[in-house]
Structure formats: structure tokens, C-alpha cells
Amino acid sequence: MKNKFVIKVAEEKHLPYAQTIVDEMETSAKMRGTGIAKRSPEFIEKKMMEGKAVIALTTSGEWAGFCYIESWSHGQFVANSGLIVNPQFRKSGLAKEIKERIFQLSRNRYPKAKIFGLTTGLAVMKINSDLGYEPVTYQELTTDEEFWSGCKSCINYDILMAKERKNCMCTAMLYDPEESVMKKLKGRRLDFSKNSKLYERYMRIKKSRLIRLFVKPQNPVIK
Ligand SMILES: CC(C)(COP(=O)(O)OP(=O)(O)OC[C@H]1O[C@@H](n2cnc3c(N)ncnc32)[C@H](O)[C@@H]1OP(=O)(O)O)[C@@H](O)C(=O)NCCC(=O)NCCS
């Protein structure tokens, strides 16, 4: 697996892959039936030109995966967003490798930043947890309006707003460089794999409760 893909910081020569990446992001979101913040090919190209994206290709040059960095609150917060793996290469550890690479890149470029993610995906939660992220409340994330306005194109945006940005379908996870050092010193780290069943259950309950708030009964009771 390790030698099958070339994983590197994207640059100008990778611009032609932008449209494929955007198309796959949209297709995958539709397949999952979940919300997604929409990205344009121009946006992806900009990330590549700024050296804020990681791309994975096969040794024959076929696109295999992608992820990019965004920074908020004047660089105090960083998100590794838009993780996507070509469906034919999924479940072989590629997302994990891409996330490790983009995490390193984020740490190098923004050593003091808190790195966070919002996701409904168990795979991503697992990878994040291995990297040292911990689940947090939304209040611990950036308050940067620009970040939250990225959620406008998500199908769950009404839920987010109704909950006054305090909760939604996504689980928030955060890597705090300062806390991480403390936890390493104390030997205290959350083991996600031991708790993944609990998370699955928590997410099911959260989803059903949040959705219930928004689905009107078919036959309302007339008083
Ligand atoms: C989510 C996605 C990036 C995972 O890519 P991948 O290359 O298949 O993931 P990996 O093989 O690196 O798997 C990472 C871990 O998650 C687990 N995993 C993978 N897919 C999973 C799934 N659907 N449900 C639960 N766990 C899953 C793997 O078993 C692995 O755990 P391990 O390290 O204990 O073996 C890929 O399915 C994808 O592109 N999906 C569509 C876009 C998307 O959902 N992006 C995330 C937005 S937040």
C-alpha cells in the first residue's frame, strides 16, 4: 500500500485534477445523503497554488485523493477540510495517509494553531482521534463568520441555525497543540477504537433527535 500512491503537497502541475476532485466531492455527498460545503474548481486550484493542499496520485498519474488547509480567526484555528478519496481506492488506508500528511503540513505552517474538523463520518473521526484530536463542543471552535458561512450550502444548515450554531449533525473534533503536550506528559489520551461503538450510538441518537425537530408530522393532531 505505502508504495502504490504518491502523496505530496499539491502544486501548479496538479491544477488539471481540480474539476475531477470537485465532481467527486459532490457525487460522494449525494451518495451519502449528507450535507457538504460546496467547492468550486477555482477554489481547489487556489489551494494548490498556495501550497495548502495534499494530493494523492497512483504511480500512473490517476487521481486518488485530496485534502486542503483552511485557516480562521487570523491563523489561530486551522481546519483540514475536503478530504476525499477516489471510490476505487477506498478502505485501504489512503485517507489516513493523506490526513497524516496534511496534518504535518498544517503543524509546519501554523505551529501554534488549534486544528479542528467538523464531520459526520466515522472514518474521519477515527483518523482524527489517532492524530490526537478530541471531541469538543461547537463553542470551542472558531467564531469566524466566514467559516460558519461555509455551512450555508449544507443541507443541514437550518438545523445549525436553529441550534444557534451550538450543535448540528457533525461532530466537532479539535487538536490543541498545548493540551496535546500536557496529555502526552500525563499519558492521558482518548482511545477512539475502544469507544467507537459508543460514538456510533451517540451519533444515531443525535441524528434522530435533531431530525425530529425538523420533520413535521404527516397527520397533525387537530385540537
Ligand atoms: C471517508 C473517506 C475519506 C475514507 O477514506 P478511506 O481511504 O476509505 O479511509 P481509510 O482506508 O484510510 O480508513 C481509515 C479508518 O477508517 C475506517 N473506515 C473507513 N471507512 C469507514 C466507514 N465507512 N465507516 C467506518 N469506518 C471506516 C477504516 O477501517 C480505517 O480504520 P483502521 O485504521 O482501524 O483500519 C472516503 O470514504 C471518502 O472519500 N468518502 C467520501 C467523502 C467523505 O466522506 N469525506 C469526509 C468528509 S468529513
Ligand 1 centroid to Cα of residue 39, in Å, is 21
Cα–Cα nearest to 47, from 89, 74, 23, 82: 82
Residues 69-89: tens digit of each pLDDT:
999 999 999 999 999 999 999
Task: Give the position, in ligand 1's atom list, of the atom nearest the Cα of 86.
Answer: 39
Edge to edge, what strands does the sheet with 114-119 contain?
Answer: 5-9, 53-58, 63-72, 77-85, 114-119, 171-175, 134-136
Can you read off the three cell numbers belonging to residue 21?
Answer: 476532485
The larger pLDDT score, comparing residue 151 to residue 87, is at 87
Helix (H) or strand (E) holding 135: strand 134-136
Check: CB of residue 132 under 8 Å from CB of residue 182. no
| Residue 119 CB–ligand 1 contact under 6 Å | yes
pTM of the complete model beyond 0.95? no
Task: Tell me how far apart the alpha carbons of residues 50 and 55 are, in angstroms, rounded to a whole number.
Answer: 13
Q: How far is the CA of 7 from the centre of ligand 1 (A)?
A: 17
Ligand 1 centroid to 216 CA: how many Å? Answer: 33
- Cβ 126 under 6 angstroms from ligand 1: yes
Protein residue with least CA distance to atom 4, ligand 1: 95
State yes or no: pLDDT of 2 exceeds 90.
no
Q: Domains along the chain?
A: 5-213 (3.40.630.30)
Average per-residue pLDDT for the chain = 87
Burial class (CB in 10 A: 0-12, 13-18, 19+), 112: exposed
Q: Is 29 in the pocket of ligand 1 (CB under 6 A)?
A: no
Cβ(118) – ligand 1 distance below 6 Å: no
pLDDT range class, residue 219, cuts 50, 70, 90: very low
Distance, in Å, from the CA atom of 202 to the CA atom of 100, rounded to the nearest integer, reads: 26
Q: Is 121 in the pocket of ligand 1 (CB under 6 A)?
A: yes
User: Is 117 in contact with 173 (CB distance < 8 Å)?
Assistant: yes
Other Cβ atoms closer than 10 A to 209: 10
